A and B are shown apart, each in its own frame.
Chain A
Amino acid sequence: GPKVLQIPSHQIIDMGQMVTLNCDPVSNHLYFYWYKQILGQQMEFLVNFYNGKVMEKSKLFKDQFSVERPDGSYFTLKIQPTALEDSAVYFCASSIDRANQAPLFGEGTRLSVL
């Protein structure tokens, strides 16, 4: 079936560096999301994106975070600069319609900030 692909699966960086997490959503999906999960606990909503714009973002989506999807390529989450508390697993998801259609999630990128 359709899959959301996330690259890389694991990223280790030093605090203060920039990191870009890449997501290849399902081709006909229009809504894109990033969620943050720490230690297998609750999935925390970060941001959603539609038609080239951020629709909604949470308090966790700090000023150091940004998202974009240039020319229909990867949907990216950029963190600049990174902080220790950014260490987590970041999940990308996509859906044809709003979340009312149960977004499809990727396998996640584990980010370790040292």
Chain B
Amino acid sequence: QQQVRQSPQSLTVWEGETAILNCSYENSAFDYFPWYQQFPGEGPALLIAIRSVSDKKEDGRFTIFFNKREKKLSLHITDSQPGDSATYFCAATSSSFSKLVFGQGTSLSVVP
């Protein structure tokens, strides 16, 4: 059972555009949603995270929008740079869970 889903599987944007990566989940108990960025050959690194009590979290060019009612969230990357080209994983958990549940990832390519 896929508890966390991401779309699209891959995304290509031009440098300077806004990339929008989507994520949805099934378990209403999830209340913490970290996004990880992974470059080829490296481990995933925490990029930004949001708790379900908020509907928006911003950190520089990265913003998470969260809709609890629809169980959806999205990561917006404004002014995309070639260095942002990576795979982005949405994950979910809660205080009653002992693990992160990951989505399948979105591979982002930013073209100069």
Interface residues of A (CB under 8 A from B): 4, 31, 33, 35, 40-45, 48, 50, 55-56, 91, 98-100, 102-108
Interface residues of B (CB under 8 A from A): 32, 34, 36, 38, 40-46, 49, 87, 89, 91, 93-95, 97-105
Once A33-B99, A42-B105, A48-B98 are accepted as A-B contacts, the answer to whether A99 and B43 lie under 8 Å apart by CB is no
> Is B42's CB under 8 angstroms from A107's CB?
yes
> Is B99's CB under 8 angstroms from A56's CB?
yes
> Is B99's CB under 8 angstroms from A100's CB?
no
Identity of the chain A residue whose Cβ is nearest the Cβ of B31 in the assembled complex: A100
A3 to B50, CA, bound (A): 22
* 24 residue pairs from A and B, CB less than 8 Å apart: A33-B99, A33-B100, A35-B102, A42-B89, A42-B104, A43-B89, A48-B99, A50-B98, A55-B98, A56-B98, A56-B99, A91-B43, A98-B93, A99-B99, A100-B32, A100-B93, A100-B94, A100-B97, A102-B32, A102-B49, A103-B100, A104-B46, A105-B45, A107-B43
Pick the contact of A99: B44, B100, B105 (CB < 8 A): B100
Identity of the chain A residue whose Cβ is nearest the Cβ of B94 in the assembled complex: A100
Pick the contact of A98: B42, B87, B95 (CB < 8 A): B95
Identity of the chain A residue whose Cβ is nearest the Cβ of B46 in the assembled complex: A102
> Is A45's CB under 8 angstroms from B99's CB?
yes
A13 to chain B, nearest CB (A): 20
A97 to chain B, nearest CB (A): 9
- Please name 15 further chain A to chain B contacts, defined as beta carbons within 8 Å, in addition to the given A99-B32, A102-B46, sorted by A numbering: A4-B43, A35-B102, A40-B87, A42-B105, A43-B44, A45-B100, A45-B101, A55-B98, A91-B43, A98-B95, A98-B97, A98-B98, A99-B99, A102-B49, A105-B44
> Is B43's CB under 8 angstroms from A105's CB?
yes
Pick the contact of A41: B34, B101, B105 (CB < 8 A): B105
